[in-house]
Structure 1
Amino acid sequence: GSITSGARKRNSHSQEGEHSQCCKRPRYSGPNLPEDILCHIHSLMPLRDAARAACVSRIFLDSWRCYPKLTFSNKTLGLKRSNRRRADIARDFTSTVDHILKNHSGIGLKGLRLEAHDYCKVKSYINSWLQIAITRGIEEVSLLVPSHYNFPCSVLSDGRGNSIRDLYLTHCAFRPTVGIDCLRSLTKLHLYYVCITGDELGCLLSSSFALERLELRYCNELIILKIPFCLERLSFLMVYECEMLQMIESKAPNLSTFRFWVGPVQLSFGDSSQLKHLDVNFSSKNNSCSYVITKLPSIVPHLETLTISSSIEMVNTPVVANKFFHLKYLEINLCGAFKAFSPYDYFSLVSFLDVSPVLETFILSVQQFVMKHDSVFEYASYMRQMPAHKHHRLKNVQIIGFCSAKSMVELTCHILENAPSLECLTVDTVYDEEDDDNTGRCSVRKNGRCGPLTRDMILEADKALEAIRRNILGKVPSTVKLNVREPCSRCHYIEL
């Protein structure tokens, strides 16, 4: 019996062995790809995924030491605020960034982005981190760091800054000195809340021959901004709320787009200016429309698009002789405290149409809560006309925040009667910053509801609709498409 049972056991084991060998499958070891392709795949992973992959693969571990783009923020490092103290987050942030950079080989690093909150207290570490990260070959450097930090220009020396193409600095002092020649490949420079004087910025710009885009925001040490002629590739310039700025002088021959939101400044673009796109907002200057129409035609004669944002207009737009001979697109945003002054004459904006003989698109936006006007229902007996003022190229007109002001109705009627090429007229009785297209009011917001309107604004919109019915509908030619946009029936309904 024992022999028989043993034989049975041996036979059973033999059969199981044969069965296991027959059913055995080769173990999956991943795709058989060349190492350089795997490293490229690894470089495309987000930072946290790339770090995790390095924990389970020797190839990815070697690749991690050459990971090309390092973005350090609470989000990318997985440091969430919920149920955690700031001190713990600050400690983990500093230790993690320090560990990653000290173990990075520096080889292949193309980009560094550091987003640190004030409570992270990283100022004592940043210089050493930059010494590690800014090596020959790096192309993008973005520092969003706590205030009162002095950027060490020395980290850009010895050729280490010559490969940088995009430099983004915030809340720091940046002091380039005479003779600095370390950003030869720089194409984009963005300074936000940066302490830098006009002379220091001039030292930097004088050797940045490849610069294409320059953005300056809240750089409050700037008094005079001079753009040298050597910046032949510069095409875009933005200057925003540099409160001490008094003069902007540009000799860049190919500057085509200029956006600025500043106080009253002296502008100079040279006789050969090729500026084509201008977005202007004088943040502390009254009567921006009047300034633009009287001063800019001779300063920037080649403009093709012009956007004006005005906070206070106390005088009507004057009639002038100079013209914008190339202007095709004009947008005027009236968004200030008009209610404190006498009614603004919207009909005076015909002056802009007169000085723009090739204008094709005209957009007027008016915030309703700041309007003060003479109602068309009270002064309908006399409607002004200018039949001799023709606008032959005008095709598309939008009036956003249309109201029952007599002067606005006169402006609209004038356009209908004196723009023979007009194709589309849109009058929107509601001003909504987020609804900049015909997409429907509710659908443009995440919460599925329109922007709030006061009772007075809704009542004024109803008056505007009545003004359109009485004074405008009958003057619309059959060749013109009229779009009248009313308040949302769901979000802007009130019981009278």
Structure 2
Amino acid sequence: MGMLALRRLMAAQRDRRRLRKAQARNGVITSMAKRKGAFLQGDDTSQGGKRLRYSEPYLTEDIWRHIHSLMPLRDAARAACISQAFLRSWRRYPNLILTAGTLGLELRKNWKVHMARYFDRVDHILKNHSGIGIEEITLSLPPEYSFPCSLLSGRSLQHLELVNCAFRPVAGLGCSRNLTKLHLHSVLITDDELACLLSESFALKHLDLSDCREMVYLKIPCSLEQLSYLDVSSCRLQMIESKAPNLSSLSYSGNLVELSLGQSSQVKTLDIEFYDKANFLCYVITKLQNIVPNLESLTIHSDVERINTPMVDAKFLHLNYLEIYFDGLDGDDEAFPLEYDYLSLVSVLDASPVLDTFILSVQQGGMKHDLVSGDTTTILRTMPGHKHERLKEVMIIGFCSATSMVELTCHILENATSLETITLDIVCDVDDLEDVGRCCTTTLRKTGSCYPLRREMILEAHRGVMAIERYIRRKVPSNVELIVREPCTWCHDLERLDALEKENGHIIPHLILSLRTFHYC
């Protein structure tokens, strides 16, 4: 409902009220049926044999409150300023999203000078809400603002999201008994303060902490029986200890921490990255089985991997989904050295006997590797006796012409007896996982263009295509679908890039490759 139409509606109501008062003073109206809770009333009265009809629909207060709740916050607040009825529903407005945008701060010049006044406005809004029916509060203000925890006492709040502010909860507030989702981003809060809040959050199901720099030790009590999802990123933690009995999904990215999830951990989904841990994949395969014995889905990010992945006896007995991301930074030649052996990833497959889906993503920028021979006379290594009987789907993103990567792919084709689909994406386009193809072959891409590549990466992509044609395609069983996602014939075309460079006065010599273009997507 637009503000103009709402103002007209409120004006019509005022006119009708004035008319009724005038008629009552003249003794014309002797009675009027009053409908409890109606925002608009339809009534017929008579005056001198004439009937006055009001055709506006009758709606209950609950319906009008629902309409009010669907308005954007600023429009809802404005409506409350021009209607007593909407003022009552405003005090029960379910989702308070208080940001610089919704408060109009970003439209005012030098608003930081008057920051305290705007903070008072936030406090005023919170104080004037009854708390009954308030389901969600999202607050994103400058870090100078300290969230008034006392205002939450006795509320029915279910979702609290705080960004860039201080949050200092103390024990006994009783503000979080109905809280099911808590998201703190760049919030100043200590270990003890968070512990006070969690100790009363018996209904909490989802906890999301990011960039909370005052916390060192995250301790989750066993009283959080409903907690199923924990996401921690970019905090300066040294340890995460969880006794929540039903925690099933954990996502962590940050510095190396000690994980303590209990001997009977029920965590089934884990997405993990340690920023400062070299050879992280090796750490995971040798240490993680005892920490998360019931794991079913695992996503690993490794920035620095200098040693090959070892064979281990311990098994991920329930793991059916595995993603490995080698996120070597562009230009970091030391992250993945020339001798890194992709074939050693067979040890990860061996450690996952019921694995169904395997995804490997390799960021090739800055990585060195030995090139597979340009002819078919090269003898590729094999690893007999390593069978992967449950593996059905494999995707390699950033497939390259490294000999060991070609060997890994051939090994999977020869030893994954249940394999149904294998996808080889020559370009490491992680954002394109849902769109099979490039902008030259599909209209599904949201960006309208393909992942940008430097010249040497385009050359490597063409070498990857040749490696597939010479070594891999002939080994694909008839019952397995091979999907090759090649460089885009438009965005990754070397001749077109040369033409653009010549137009700009730059001529860079490059290797001209004679290739056929295949599209198997």
Same fold (TM over 0.5): yes
Match of 2:388 among 381, 388, 391: 391
Distance in 1, matches of 2:212 and 2:392, equals: 40
CA contact (8 A) 1:90 1:121 kept: no
Aligned CA distance change for structure 1 residues 284 and 121 (closer, same or farther; 3 Å): farther
Indicate whether 1:219 and 2:212 are aligned.
yes
Distance 1:154 1:54 in 2: 25
2:263 to 240, 265, 271: 271
What secondary structure does 2:380 align onto? Answer: coil
1:209 paired to 2:202: yes
* Matched-pair contact (CA < 8 Å) for 2:92–2:133: no
Which of 329, 333, 340 is the matching residue for 1:339?
Answer: 333
Deviations 1:221-244 (A, max 9, x none): 22111111111111000110112x
Asked whether the equivalents of residues 100 and 141 of structure 2 are also in contact (C-alpha less than 8 Å), the reply is no
2:184 to 188, 191, 207: 191
1:408-457 Cα offsets, whole Å, 9 max, x none, are: 00100000000000000000101112211244322454452112111111
* Contact 1:180/1:203 (<8 A) preserved: no
CA shift in 2, pair 1:220/1:490, >3 Å: same
Match runs of 1:38-77 below 5 Å: 38-50=64-76, 60=86, 63-64=89-90, 67-73=93-99, 75-76=101-102
Name which of 240, 243, 248 aligns with 2:240: 248
What SS does the corresponding residue of 1:383 show, helix, strand or coil? coil
Give the whole-Å Cα distance in 1 for the aligned partners of 2:263 and 2:88: 57
Task: Indicate conservation of the 8 Å contact 2:91/2:129, yes or no.
Answer: no
Contact 1:134 1:155 in 2 (8 A): no
Residue 352 of structure 1 aligns to a residue whose secondary structure is: helix
1:148 is matched with 144
Partner of 1:100: none
Could you list the structure 1 runs, at least 4 aligned residues long, displaced by more than 6 angstroms after superposition. Answer: 25-28, 54-58, 77-80
Partner of 1:481: 481
Root-mean-square deviation over aligned CA pairs: 2.8
Structure 2 counterpart of 1:431? 428
- 2:293/2:316 contact within 8 Å kept: yes
* 262, 281, 289: which one aligns with 1:289: 281
Other-structure match for 1:37: 63
Contact 2:220 2:244 in 1 (8 A): yes
Cross-structure match for 1:257: 249
2:517 matched residue in structure 1:
none
List runs of 5+ in structure 2 lacking aligned partners.
1-50, 496-511, 513-521
Letter in 1 for 2:64: L
- Aligned pair in 2 of structure 1 residues 131, 255: CA closer, same or farther (>3 Å)? same
**Map 1:365-404 → 2, pairs under 5 A:** 365-377=361-373, 381-404=378-401
Structure 1 gaps, min length 5: 1-24, 95-118
CA spacing shift, 1:349–1:207, aligned 2, 3 Å: same
Alignment-derived partner of residue 360 in structure 1: 356
Q: In structure 2, do the counterparts of structure 1 residues 257 and 472 end up closer, same or farther at CA, with 3 Å as the change threshold?
A: same
TM-score (norm 1): 0.81
2:222 aligned with 1:229: yes
The alignment-based identity, stated in percent, is 57
Letter in 1 for 2:285: I
Query: Residue 59 of structure 1: CA displacement?
Result: 5.3
Worse-superposed segment, 448-457 or 193-202: 193-202
Match of 1:421 among 414, 418, 423: 418
Q: State the one-letter code of the partner of 1:478.
A: S
Q: Report the Cα distance in structure 2 between the residues aligned to 1:439 and 1:77, rounded to whole angstroms.
A: 42
2:232 partner letter: V
- Report the more deviating stretch, 64-73 or 168-177: 64-73
The separation in 2 between residues aligned to 1:481 and 1:309, in whole angstroms, is: 28
Aligned pairs for 1:161-176 (under 5 A) are 161=155, 163-176=156-169
Query: Aligned equivalents of 2:172 and 2:66: distance in 1?
Result: 39
CA distance in 2 between counterparts of 1:141 and 1:80 reads: 20
Q: 1:121 to 1:205 in 2, by over 3 A?
A: same
Residue 337 of structure 2 aligns with an amino acid whose one-letter code is S
1:424 aligned partner, one-letter code: T
What is the identity, as a one-letter code, of the residue corresponding to 1:483?
I
What residue in structure 2 maps to residue 448 of structure 1? 448
Q: Deviations over 1:163-210 (max 9, x none)?
A: 221111222222233455431111111111122222222222122111
Q: In structure 1, the residue corresponding to 2:164 is in which secondary structure?
A: strand
Aligned with 2:187: secondary structure? strand
- Supply the distance in 2 between the matched residues of 1:190 and 1:55 (Cα, whole angstroms): 31
C-alpha separation in 2, matches of 1:387 and 1:63: 71
Secondary structure at the counterpart of residue 145 of structure 2: strand
Cα distance in 2 between the residues matched to 1:259 and 1:420: 32
CA change 1:262–1:228 in 2 (3 A) is same
TM-score normalised by structure 2 residue count: 0.78
Distance 1:434 1:384, change over 3 A: same
- Alpha-carbon spacing, 1:120–1:384, altered in 2? closer, same or farther (3 Å): farther
Native 8 Å contact 1:435 1:444 kept in 2? no
Structural mapping, 1:2-21, within 5 Å: none
Q: Is the 8 A contact 1:275 1:300 kept in 2?
A: yes
Q: Amino acid of the residue matched to residue 388 of structure 2? A: H
Once the 2 structures are TM-superposed, how far is the Cα of residue 65 of structure 1 from its aligned partner? 5.9
Q: What is the distance in 2 between the residues matched to 1:401 and 1:465?
A: 11
Q: Please give the secondary structure, in 2, of the residue aligned with 1:214.
A: strand
Do the aligned partners of 2:96 and 2:137 also contact (CA within 8 Å) in 1? no
Whether the aligned pair in 1 keeps the contact of 2:437 and 2:485 (CA below 8 Å) is no
Shift of 1:386: 0.8
Partner residue of 1:464?
464
Structure 2 counterpart SS, 1:369? coil
How much has 1:154 moved relative to structure 2? 2.4
Query: Measured at CA, do residues 444 and 175 of structure 1 come closer, stay the same or move farther in structure 2, by a change above 3 Å?
Result: same
**What pairs with 1:298-337 in structure 2 (closer than 5 Å)?**
298-337=290-329
Correspondence for 1:122: 118
Cα drift, residue 69 of structure 1: 3.6
